[in-house]
Every structure is written in C-alpha cells, then in structure tokens.
Amino acid sequence: MRISLVQGDITEQQVDAVVNAANSSLLGGGGVDGAIHSRGGPEILDECRRLRASHYGGGLPTGQAVATTAGRLPARWVIHTVGPVYSAAEDRSEQLASCYREALRVADELGIESIAFPAVSAGIYGWPVEDAARIAVGTVRSTPTKINDARFVLFTEDAFEAFERAISP
C-alpha cells in the first residue's frame, strides 16, 4: 500500500472513498463532517438517517465505521467513523486506532482501492495533532488491507507537518 499526504480539502479528493470524522448522530456537524455533508449533498444525510433508523438509533459507537453514498463528492463512498474526544485523564488511543482499522475493514468489504483520511479527532475533539498523526499513520501501516492508495488529507499546515513527521522513517 502506498501512503501519501496532501494538504487540502478532503471533499475534492478523487478516490474511491473518503473517511468522514463524523459525530455519533451521523447527521452532520462541523469541520470535516460539515464539509462532507455540505458538498456531498442531501443524499448522504438521507442515507445516514436510514442507517440511524435501522441500525444506529442510539448513534454510531466511537471507533466504529459505516459507509454511505458520497452523493455529489468525486468519491464513490463516504466511510463515517466516530473518533473519541481527547482526554488527558483517560487513554482513548485504542478507540482512535479503531477508527482507522474499522474504516479499512469497511473499505475492504466494499472492494475499495483508494481512500482519503482526515486527521480523525484532531479538530474539535481536541486530540493533540502529533499524537493523532502517530496513531493514524501507525495504524494504517500495520492494518492488513487490500487498499492500494491510502492518503491523509490535512486541512492545515500544522496538521500536514505533524503527519509528515509521523510518516518519515
């Protein structure tokens, strides 16, 4: 698998699937979640509502992942995953790693060859970006998958630089 970094907007990526740093409601929010729902259009929200009604009435659990259409995004799929809120008092790194493993599992089930990840939990969920980068890159590298192209799409220069350090040998 080739792992690469891009500084930019995840909603513009030409990949099979983009990963959404969703909230547990699956009904949209801010940051990456809001951008994906806004640019992707109402088809994503409609499918999320159906998923909530049939499987996730209490919300998608932290560390889990589920796929929907990508609506008007250039990708075919959106894989929604719920990252943990950072806590200095409680180690939630396994939940964060699970977001990436579960997204790759769902991608493999769908036969996806290329995927774009954001920095899950490193925005409003407060995860320190250096640690988030280390967990993300390490998990994607060590998870068996059929993905050929895994891309981390980072919105800010600080996040891009943190992921650059994490990806370097």
Q: What is the pLDDT of residue 89?
A: 97
Q: What is the pLDDT of residues 121-140, one digit of tens each?
A: 999 999 999 999 999 999 99
- Extract the tokens encoding 69: 């259409």
Q: What is the dihedral of CA 20, 22, 26, 31, to 10 degrees?
A: -90
Backbone angles phi, psi at 58, to 5 degrees: -90, 5
Question: Cβ contacts of residue 109 below 8 Å, gap of 6+?
Answer: none
**116 touches 10 (CB < 8 A):** yes
**168 touches 157 (CB < 8 A):** no
Q: What is the pLDDT of residues 44-103, one digit of tens each?
A: 999 999 998 888 888 899 999 999 999 999 999 999 999 999 999 999 999 999 999 999
Question: Cβ contacts of residue 88 below 8 Å, gap of 6+?
Answer: none
Q: Given the residues 16, 33, 108, 149, select the one marked as catalytic.
A: 33
Q: What is the pLDDT of residue 113?
A: 97
Of the candidates 125, 106, 126, 123, the one whose C-alpha atom is nearest the C-alpha of residue 115 is 106
**81 bridge partner residues:** 21, 65
pTM of the full structure: 0.96
Q: What is the pLDDT of residue 56?
A: 80
Domain enclosing residue 18, as ranges: 2-167
pLDDT at 156 over 90: yes
Average pLDDT over residues 31-42: 96
What is the spatial distance between Cα 121 and Cα 133, in angstroms, rounded to a whole number?
10
Number of domains in the chain: 1
pLDDT at 169 over 80: no
Mean pLDDT of the chain: 96
9 or 169: which carries more pLDDT confidence? Answer: 9
The CATH number covering residue 13 comes to 3.40.220.10
Q: What is the pLDDT of residue 107?
A: 98
> Is residue 68 helix, strand or coil?
strand
Helix axes 129-142, 157-167, angle to 10 degrees: 40
Q: What is the pLDDT of residue 57?
A: 81
158 labelled catalytic: no
